Amino acid sequence: MLKKITNRKNRFVVNERIAFLILPLILLPILFELFLNHINPSLFKTYHDGVLIANIIYIVIARFAILDTGIYIFSRSTFHIHLALMQIVLLYLEITVITIIYYAILFDILDVFSLFHLSAQLSPQNLQSIHDHSLITSIYISTVTFTTLGSGDWIPQTLPAMIAVVSEVVLGVVQGGVFVAILIYAHQNKEIK
């Protein structure tokens, strides 16, 4: 069964046109959770840690499947090198944005201020403004984490929050490395032909 699933010839996404359309579907589970959180927020408070860990596992598996599919698609691309490289850049930009949005929505659903502590000294007005815009705060934390910039002002308060940060950093680093590897492979592959 596992051999059948991992067989590259049996892939659902077999070209770059389909990949760009299917990638946003990764957000469906988190959007459904956002809807459920709106209906029943106490459910997410009760199972806070479990929801966080389950989402981390999901996004890590989904991301590695996407990266593997991306490598498969672009290693067989018949497009001119410049067009293929542009498609790789756009695909990876889309994967990056989707991952950042996924983690940001997850942090917002689970109350970003219970997951992270702001260690910076801010005026009461600025602090209130940050608390009033939890989704923007979540996007900021997700972006600086994924890009491994890490401002240092937002400190994870729980073990699951630490695991979330570690998983997002690993995804960001791995994606950067895979991106460079695919660019090099695509360039070398086109020179050989």
Q: Return the percentage of the chain with pLDDT > 70, whole number.
A: 74
Q: Report the Cα 109 to chain-centroid distance in Å.
A: 16
Which pLDDT score, from 0 to 100, does residue 82 have? Answer: 64
DSSP string of 103-131, one letter each residue = HHHHHHHT-HHHHEEE-S---HHHHHHHH
Q: What angle do CA 179, 184, 186 make, to 5 degrees?
A: 95
CA distance 151 to 166: 15
Between residues 126 and 1, which one has the greater pLDDT? Answer: 126
Q: Is residue 193 within a helix (H) or strand (E), and if so which, with residue range?
A: none
Angle between the N-to-C axes of helices 159-192 and 48-75, in degrees from 0 to 180, rounded to the nearest 10: 0
Radius of gyration, CA atoms only, the chain = 19
Q: What is the mean pLDDT of the chain?
A: 79
- Higher pLDDT: 104 or 68? It is 104
Choice between 166 and 26, residue whose per-residue pLDDT is larger: 166
Element holding 7 (H helix, E strand): none
Mean local confidence (pLDDT), 42-62: 88
- Per the CB < 8 A criterion, the answer to whether 168 and 142 are in contact is yes
pLDDT band of 19, cuts 50, 70, 90: low
Calculate ∠ Cα 147-151-155, nearest 5°: 105
Contact of 15 with 70, CB cutoff 8 Å: no
pLDDT in tens, 121-177: 878 888 888 888 989 999 999 999 998 887 678 899 999 899 999 999 998 888 888
Residue 58, pLDDT above cutoff 80: yes
Q: Judge whether residue 71 has pLDDT over 90.
A: no
Cβ-based neighbour number of residue 130 at 10 Å = 17
Residue extents of the structural domains in the chain: 14-192
For the stretch 175-193, pLDDT in tens is 888 777 777 766 665 555 4
Weakest mean pLDDT among 11-15, 23-27, 107-111, 135-139:
11-15
